[in-house]
Chain A
Amino acid sequence: MNSVIYHAFSQKDAKEFDIQHPGTQRAEAFVRAFLKRSMPRMSRQAQEDHLQRKAVVLEYFTHRKQKEKKKKSKGLSAKQRRELRLFDINPEQQRYSLFLPLHELWKQYIRDLCNGLKPDMQPQMIQAKLLKADLHGAIVSVTKSKCPSYVGITGILLQETKHIFKIITKEDRLKVIPKLNCVFTVEIDGFISYIYGSKFQLRSSERSAKKFKAKGTIDL
């Protein structure tokens, strides 16, 4: 509607009606004088402010991005896992002879890992590989322990959790040995390695990614 009432003169019309562009300075002066005459009560500073339209910011709001709530799958708590009995071994399956093939498999795995165990290899290399290797199926024995009754227990490693080893001995007994304050011996083809259980308190899955630092004392 405004465009009907007001629209700019074209060049031709301006020439016809003999209208001249006033020029910026003359236009400004004209506007100021006009404002002064129309609003005599307002000071010149107040008029300028009005023209400039300064807005006062009272509060500063930024809209927070709504974070999407991650829908985590809850998983099972330790109690529920124990009830499920996924990791229990039945008594009728607790026979040492059943797990000997597992031990052979493990020996083969370690041999492949170390590119064939030769007698003249550096023990450091084998130890470095063993640190990240999976020990299920190895024959471990306890050499040193703060509790004297654990010393001497030897058997095939069946399960490894964060704090314990589950071992089956030759007498078909399932023994649960805490790793803390124990030194274990693992033997492969004549290379004997000692595992200090106090520094080994990790799940086997997490151990492959962990860098071991020499911290503290290996005294029990």
Chain B
Amino acid sequence: MPAGKGRGEPNAGRTCVRKTMAMLCRLREVPRHLLVCEKSNFGHEKSRHRHLVETHYHNYRVSFLIPECGILSKELKDLVMDSGPYYFVKDLPLHELIAHEFINTFVKKGACYALTYNTNIDEDNTVALLPNGKLILSLDKDTYEEAGLQGRPSQYSGRKTMKFIVSIDLMDLSSKLDSKKYKRISWAFKEKKPLKFDFLLAWHQTGAEGSTMMSYFSNYRIQERQPKIALSTVTDLPCPVLRSGELRGEPEAACSAQELFEWLGAVFSNAELNNEPDNFISTYCCPQPSTVAAKACLCTITGFILPEKIRLLLEQLCRYFDEPKLAPWVTLSVQGFADSPVSWRENEHGFRKGGEHLYNFVVFSNRDYWLQLAVGANDDCPP
């Protein structure tokens, strides 16, 4: 390249080289993924498993895999079938979510979750309601400038800020009924910039039976939906051998946590794990050392699933090993919504090239567990 240029233009040669290098760098850049692996025991007092399950608010898919198991036990099956209804409301105006009645009926009594449906986190306005009473709005630039509510720019914006995050504390608002703040928010949502979204709602009620979501939102088109459940049995599944004490695995004796994570992904996508060299779709091979399980039970629940239900499922899986079983370990994976504005607690979540935020438990027979948390590029390190 530079040799070809004449002697009269030395600078042109240099810029040509610089542009090519910049393009190569951009091609080589892969958005980063983070995988955090930790191990602990369920009986340990400082174990964070409960906190992490409860603060991961918007869960899209829960799957668990039990090797060497043909039929699910009755308790597990009941739990799976009872993974709560969730509600879908079309064209709900935003000012309904800050109405005093809504806050008193749902937010204060129990845990209420809401997420806008079919909005892309990096393009459109997205709204999420967290159980601690915070309403998080992720607005694009024009909406933020017109709405007039105080917010901060998103962490994952480049030189020009395109997304802004507005956070409204509903518990705080409801305590002062006639404050200026409430009047301003109410004015912004009702007159200045009325926004309407399709919402996915779920409510875990504690306490006495009050009105339900169906009756409260009867003016709008609300549907009650049940999560989709897929139960299957996989035969002759090669499973890696794991040792609960060794996260990184031992060279000939056990596999590492990362290898297990990859293998689990291959199983969930129903890939062939035979290491056939001429297979067009996948040449993945189960990590060694491995044993072959005659049959394994794979169950997937898809929908807007409450963290409380996941906690019950996890506890039930722990109790799986109360009786002696053939299986050495069981796994439970939970995936979050790619378009949710928060991942864990109130950490901001962005899409970039695949907005994944998920966690995976591997439960061993001695109540040890491995926990793997994975996030994508536009995310902070998981807690």
Give complex CA distance A146, B147 in Å. 11
Shortest CB distance B220–A (Å): 27
**Interface residues in B119-166 (C-beta closer than 8 Å to A):** 141-142, 144-151
- Answer yes or no: B60 CB below 8 A from chain A CBs: no
Give complex CA distance A148, B188 in Å. 11
**Interface residues in B173-221 (C-beta closer than 8 Å to A):** 184, 187-188, 192
**Contact check: which of B142, B150, B187 meets A148 at CB < 8 Å?**
B150
Of B148, B149, B188, the most chain A CB neighbours within 10 A belong to: B148
**Interface residues in B95-141 (C-beta closer than 8 Å to A):** 141
Mostly helix, strand, loop or mixed at chain B's interface? Answer: helix
| A151-B147, A152-B187 known, 5 other contacts, Cβ within 8 Å | A148-B144, A148-B147, A149-B148, A149-B150, A151-B148
Tell whether, in the assembled complex, residue B150 and residue A151 are in contact, meaning their CB atoms are under 8 Å apart: no
- Answer yes or no: A145 CB below 8 A from chain B CBs: yes
Closest A residue to B187 using CB positions: A152
Shortest CB distance B11–A (Å): 31
Tell whether, in the assembled complex, residue B145 and residue A146 are in contact, meaning their CB atoms are under 8 Å apart: yes
- Answer yes or no: A220 CB below 8 A from chain B CBs: yes
Give complex CA distance A150, B192 in Å. 13
Mostly helix, strand, loop or mixed at chain A's interface? Answer: mixed
Closest A residue to B160 using CB positions: A219
**Contact check: which of B145, B150, B187 meets A145 at CB < 8 Å?**
B145
Tell whether, in the assembled complex, residue A152 and residue B144 are in contact, meaning their CB atoms are under 8 Å apart: no
Closest A residue to B184 using CB positions: A152
Contact with B along A140-159 (1 / 0, CB 8 A): 00011110111110000000
Q: Provide the residues of chain A in CB contact with B149, threshold 8 Å.
A: 148
Closest A residue to B148 using CB positions: A151
**Interface residues in A164-219 (C-beta closer than 8 Å to B):** none
**Contact check: which of B148, B150, B151 meets A152 at CB < 8 Å?**
B148
Give complex CA distance A75, B187 in Å. 47
Report how many A-B pairs have Cβ atoms within 8 Å.
29
Shortest CB distance A181–B (Å): 9
Contact with B along A27-58 (1 / 0, CB 8 A): 00000000000000000000000000000000
Tell whether, in the assembled complex, residue B151 and residue A148 are in contact, meaning their CB atoms are under 8 Å apart: yes
Q: Provide the residues of chain A in CB contact with B141, threshold 8 Å.
A: 220
Tell whether, in the assembled complex, residue A151 and residue B151 are in contact, meaning their CB atoms are under 8 Å apart: no
Give complex CA distance A220, B151 in Å. 17
Shortest CB distance B192–A (Å): 6
Could you show 8 A-B contacts with beta carbons less than 8 Å apart? A144-B146, A148-B145, A148-B149, A149-B148, A151-B148, A152-B184, A152-B187, A152-B192
The 8 closest A-B pairs by CB, nearest first: A151-B148, A144-B145, A148-B148, A144-B146, A152-B148, A148-B150, A148-B149, A220-B145
Closest B residue to A182 using CB positions: B145
Give complex CA distance A149, B141 in Å. 15
Q: Provide the residues of chain A in CB contact with B145, threshold 8 Å.
A: 144-146, 148, 151, 220
Shortest CB distance A194–B (Å): 12
Closest B residue to A181 using CB positions: B145
Give complex CA distance A152, B141 in Å. 17
Closest A residue to B145 using CB positions: A144
Give complex CA distance A35, B105 in Å. 134
Of A143, A146, A152, the most chain B CB neighbours within 10 A belong to: A152
Q: Provide the residues of chain B in CB contact with A145, threshold 8 Å.
A: 145, 148
Closest A residue to B149 using CB positions: A148
Of A143, A144, A150, A151, the most chain B CB neighbours within 10 A belong to: A151
Give complex CA distance A144, B144 in Å. 9
Shortest CB distance B140–A (Å): 12
Shortest CB distance B168–A (Å): 13
Shortest CB distance B160–A (Å): 10
Give complex CA distance A148, B185 in Å. 12
Give complex CA distance A220, B146 in Å. 11
Give complex CA distance A189, B227 in Å. 54
Q: Provide the residues of chain B in CB contact with A150, threshold 8 Å.
A: 148
Shortest CB distance A27–B (Å): 73
Give complex CA distance A149, B184 in Å. 10
Shortest CB distance B239–A (Å): 55
Give complex CA distance A149, B149 in Å. 7
Q: Provide the residues of chain A in CB contact with B187, threshold 8 Å.
A: 152
Q: Provide the residues of chain B in CB contact with A146, threshold 8 Å.
A: 145
Shortest CB distance B88–A (Å): 31
Give complex CA distance A101, B145 in Å. 33
Q: Provide the residues of chain B in CB contact with A149, threshold 8 Å.
A: 148, 150
Closest B residue to A145 using CB positions: B145
Closest B residue to A153 using CB positions: B148
Contact with B along A1-27 (1 / 0, CB 8 A): 000000000000000000000000000
**Interface residues in A117-155 (C-beta closer than 8 Å to B):** 143-146, 148-152
